[in-house]
Amino acid sequence: GKKWLRAILITCSGLYIASLTGIILLWREFSGCHENEAFIVITGVMILITTVVQLLSEQASLLTSAVISLYSTCLCFSSVSKNPDGNCNPRLGEDDPLGVFIGISLTICFLIWAGFSATADSRLSTGDSDDDASVLSVQMERPLIEGVVANPDSDSEENCSTMTGKSNIGSKLWKLNFMLALVTCWVGTSLTEWGS
């Protein structure tokens, strides 16, 4: 109850403070070039938009937007620190093993989170509720089972198979696959130090 709510609010506050601190530090270190300033401003504005949209949605998950804001700040740092212009990037030519380690660690955490959230409904549901289940009727060219009909009084149509399953499985799978594709691209560019 209230303990979880407090923990979530404290976590959100910490994530937003870290994100705001990151944006301020990015502005102090990487401002002076229009490209860097554009990335930093767009990141800050998108954090505000994401937070407002998330608060106005049905779930109103502040924790999700807080995590996204910190991750966006990390991505902004990654982009401005890879700027090949020496006038815009004071860190040009420096090795950044800590940044690569943090990036890969965050990637692993987000992959675990994405995998968990994609399968959480099926693992955490008790099976007592029929609200989440939907009935899907599929017309078959030929019946799956041939033989004697055990219950001729049922309402089933000829050559029709009925399956029960989660209605939102497809929406979760494309999100998981999209995230995995983005992570694959990001890990490849980080490990090869593309752009430096």
Share of the chain above pLDDT 70, in %: 64
Pairing of strands 133-139, 160-166: antiparallel
What is the value of pTM for the model shown?
0.57
Q: What is the largest CA-CA distance in the chain?
A: 82
The reported pLDDT for the residue numbered 27 is 93
The closest alpha carbon to 110, from 39, 179, 19, belongs to 179
CB 165 within 8 A of CB 187: no
User: How many Å apart are CA 86 and CA 1, to the nearest integer?
Assistant: 52
> Rounded to 10 degrees, what is the CA torsion of 47, 80, 90, 35?
-100
> 5-9, 41-45, 120-124: lowest mean pLDDT where?
120-124
Phi, psi of 136 (to 5 degrees): -120, 120
Quick check: helix, strand or coil at residue 57?
A: coil
- Contacts of residue 58, defined as CB under 8 A and 6 or more positions apart, other chains included, come to none
CB 72 within 8 A of CB 19: yes
pLDDT in tens, 131-168: 444 444 455 566 666 666 555 555 555 544 444 445 55
pLDDT in tens, 7-19: 989 999 999 999 9
Our measurement of the distance from residue 19's CA atom to the centroid of its chain's CA atoms, rounded to an integer in Å, reads 17
